Structure 1
């Protein structure tokens, strides 16, 4: 009989849960993890990572189709083999799942596969392959994540109406696709299927696409996606969706209030998430707001010994935010258990970057220009276009810009917003700067390597102060 008493049990093994378990183990705590499906959770198996594999295939296809722009000739017709593209994506997911399995073994974390239900703040039962197990711990971390929100009048059926999960392993290539919602998930799938040759329409309820981004980024992206052949409808809503024999029939109300009916072969709903907090035994143990577990800055719930992290807690609902919370909570638990060497730091939400891997990419951190002004700052903002950057031109990727927002009084970097090639890899420079509480002076004094697209980051800082050199 395996031991069932631990220092810490983590419920859920996504990027929040498995990282929390590893940090607990590093701190010498006897740790177990409970997972009902696949180690690595949604992110590794059905989310962040396999979607990037799909988008990479679409990107290579895009370059192959535009080979002549680079002075290259490719003989014969270039076409996508959807089955092979999906197979590659699933292979990437499998490799990472095995990687997490290895990390659990390496860190001597006991894995209990099965459905976990809390019976108290620090006890739970697991129903799995071994029947029912009763586990206890000094502390429990809930990291149960979230799932896609369904349209009330058209729940996903996996045939015609898809969530991201169905869109990742399609049985057939959609001919005419409706994407409802233009947040990161909606836009990434719209970008993928458009590059794969599908006719794509995006419907967004708010007045612009990627509405959490700076309005200049939204405007640039909408123009770019339209140029790529997508139909973008903002300030619009899907009022009804009926599954037919050959697809779906959607009633769409446009921004002027006109309702029209259009036929599509498939529909992806990307209208937000629902936390996985039902049927876990949480009702009497925690406070919830719309299903999200309420926590303090270190992950504590109202029940002693019970903690929560990641997508089942308030947003932003991002994998890297969950991982960071996992480390914070693990260290806070170790401190409570008497470790004097750890000094947990709460998460600073102003320094969490966001990335969207459409074509062109989007990345941002901190306040948009509008939000900075709303917060009462007098701002200095500057933009530098990629067309003024030598490396971007050499790459044939001169579409895009970097925008920075500063406090005019103190020079504090308040936010950075980018759209264009490789910006998801570059944003971290500004994130490090914000974490170190940088001002424009340090950024101006920083030497950026040439030739790189990152030089446009430097130029955008200079532009905020009327000192840009290459525009």
Structure 2
């Protein structure tokens, strides 16, 4: 007979949910996980992982096309095989999905393939007729793409699922939304040959990033042939014989653009429907569940983590919240997540990565607190490893409190930015000052030396600038 009573039940098997389940079993709890679709959630199956697999294929293609610069001949006429790229991407996602299933079995987590809704204190009703009971219930139901009335998703207007498994490379493509997801799709499709237009309603692409970094990203995208339109929105669309005709409104000026396909990447909304929240004290604001610093909702015994609990919408934030939430339930001492110590990465070409405050926000913060900031910058053009790799375009920017030496923010644009940002993440977590970072010995020749030089620059001590 299947067990139905547990110490903890997790609803949602994404990077927040399955990690929470594992940590709970490590702490001696009996755990059930309910997932209505695929273990690993959107991130593993239709988000973070498969997009990175496609982007890696684009990186390999780009390297082949530019190989002659490194003395490698015969690779310059390399072409994309989209079917193989997509198949590899799906295989990568499938392998990791199997890995999560193995982890559930290894850690003794009971998995229910079902949809769940709250059914009274400590109870969950599954759509297969089963009722589960637990003192603690974690909601980790994630989020989905925001729908735009002017762009109904279908055969020619894509959301992320369709964009990850296309049957052919569109000759022309409009990407609506220039955040991380939109920028990544724009980079991939441009690399494989699409004529790409990228638009956003904000004044700059990657609007959450430091303005200087966003401007450099825009310049790099345009150099690759991506047409970028900011302060621009789609007001209407119509299917044509060969594609989609859209009406663009750029600061009151309306134009029409016809493309073969459109990708909608205009944000996300939390998956809060059908959970039975209306019969609880759980509060929902702007499609996201309201929680406190320990991921507790207003309903006793009900918690929420990950994308459904609000920004930042990042898989690593969800996983960290899962661990924090479970450890708090177990009575362990925990530290509230500081959003300013969570790195964010965009895997476009070039990549963009950041942690902490932008320069503009840091200046506002300093003004309110009667302090000053120091800003350091170092370009990859002064780094030996970057020059040797042929990737010497990019910038590392650091922002410090002038008096205390606290690292307030760090921003990187470079093809390896996502791998480099963790250095500053560790520094921020350890509350390292500029003195600690300046006294750290960085290996030579490495890209990470740029992190050191940017810190030195902030205090007038850069050696290679």
Fold equivalence (TM over 0.5): yes
- Distance apart, 1:426 and its partner CA: 0.8
Alignment of 1:215-230 (within 5 A): 215-230=211-226
Q: How has the CA–CA distance of structure 1 residues 24 and 445 changed in structure 2, closer, same or farther, with 3 Å as cutoff? A: same
- Distance apart, 1:95 and its partner CA: 0.5
1:305 corresponds to 2:301: yes
Q: Which runs of 4+ in 1 moved over 4 A?
A: none
1:332 corresponds in structure 2 to 328
Cα distance in 1 between the residues matched to 2:327 and 2:34: 20
Alignment of 1:57-72 (within 5 A): 57-72=57-72
Cα distance in 1 between the residues matched to 2:438 and 2:229: 40
Cα distance in 2 between the residues matched to 1:172 and 1:395: 32
- Distance apart, 1:245 and its partner CA: 2.5
Structure 1 stretch displaced more, 182-191 or 279-288? 279-288
1:186 corresponds in structure 2 to 182
Of 361, 367, 373, the match for 2:363:
373
- Distance apart, 1:349 and its partner CA: 1.2
- Distance apart, 1:46 and its partner CA: 0.5
Cα distance in 2 between the residues matched to 1:46 and 1:314: 19
1:402 corresponds to 2:405: no
- Distance apart, 1:374 and its partner CA: 1.4
- Distance apart, 1:234 and its partner CA: 1.0
1:135 corresponds to 2:132: yes
Cα distance in 1 between the residues matched to 2:8 and 2:74: 57
Of 459, 463, 466, the match for 2:457:
463
Check whether the contact 1:121–1:140 (CA below 8 A) recurs between aligned residues: no
Residue 86 of structure 1 aligns to a residue whose secondary structure is: helix
2:108 corresponds in structure 1 to 108
- Distance apart, 1:179 and its partner CA: 0.3
List per-residue Cα deviations over 1:203-248 (Å, max 9, x = no partner).
1111111010001111111111100001000121112122222111
Cα distance in 2 between the residues matched to 1:134 and 1:469: 65
Check whether the contact 2:198–2:228 (CA below 8 A) recurs between aligned residues: yes
Residue 419 of structure 2 aligns to a residue whose secondary structure is: helix
List per-residue Cα deviations over 1:112-166 (Å, max 9, x = no partner).
0011111124211112xxx321111011000000000011122211x11111111
Query: Any unmatched runs of 5+ in structure 2?
Result: none
Cα distance in 1 between the residues matched to 2:76 and 2:48: 33
Check whether the contact 1:121–1:306 (CA below 8 A) recurs between aligned residues: no
Cα distance in 2 between the residues matched to 1:19 and 1:110: 14
- For normalisation by structure 2, the TM-score amounts to 0.97
Q: How has the CA–CA distance of structure 1 residues 235 and 378 changed in structure 2, closer, same or farther, with 3 Å as cutoff? A: same
Cα distance in 2 between the residues matched to 1:365 and 1:372: 12
1:382 corresponds in structure 2 to 376
Cα distance in 2 between the residues matched to 1:163 and 1:81: 22
RMSD, matched Cα: 1.0
Query: Any unmatched runs of 5+ in structure 1?
Result: 336-341
List per-residue Cα deviations over 1:21-56 (Å, max 9, x = no partner).
000000000000000000000011111011000000
Cα distance in 1 between the residues matched to 2:308 and 2:266: 17
List per-residue Cα deviations over 1:323-353 (Å, max 9, x = no partner).
0000011111112xxxxxx222221111000
List per-residue Cα deviations over 1:333-390 (Å, max 9, x = no partner).
112xxxxxx2222211110000000011110000000001112251100110000000
- Distance apart, 1:76 and its partner CA: 7.6
List per-residue Cα deviations over 1:60-111 (Å, max 9, x = no partner).
0011111111111116831111111000000000000000000000100000
2:17 corresponds in structure 1 to 17
Cα distance in 2 between the residues matched to 1:70 and 1:225: 23
Cα distance in 2 between the residues matched to 1:391 and 1:259: 47
Alignment of 1:155-194 (within 5 A): 155-157=152-154, 159-194=155-190
1:338 corresponds in structure 2 to none
Cα distance in 2 between the residues matched to 1:60 and 1:50: 15
**What count of residue pairs does the alignment treat as equivalent?**
460
Alignment of 1:265-276 (within 5 A): 265-276=260-271
Check whether the contact 1:14–1:42 (CA below 8 A) recurs between aligned residues: yes
Cα distance in 2 between the residues matched to 1:395 and 1:31: 48
